[in-house]
Amino acid sequence: MNIALISIPKIEDNRGNLSVIENDVLPFEFKRVYYLYDVPSGAERGGHSHIEQKEFLIALSGSFDVVLNDGFEQKTVTLNKPFEGLLINAGIWRELNNFSSGSVCLVIASAVFDESDYVRDFDEFLKEIKA
């Protein structure tokens, strides 16, 4: 599956830790940053794949699960460390669920929002992958 857990440099200090994401941390140049928060208990986010866009997800606070599917295999990754993120390359279906109270999901994307880059129907996703 075309995903990877990537460690984010962490500078430890007795006053608190600092992590920095610069262009050398990610295998793509980022164009957009957004975050999910106040996700109600039992709610799910995601439910799509991208045709070209790559994304890097980080649990800045709390935890959540990322359910990934490449059309052949399904895998669940739990994110719960602010110094580790999940790289999701294009062509991977993702669903985010099991958000803990107070969790914050930061997403760093390789492109600005473009609705035409989204595949929002799972059956259509499977057809495109297997074609």
Looking at the annotation, which residues are catalytic?
48
Q: CA 33, CA 55: separation in Å to the nearest integer?
A: 10
> Strands 55-61 and 104-109: what pairing?
antiparallel
CA dihedral sign, ordered 89, 90, 94, 100: positive
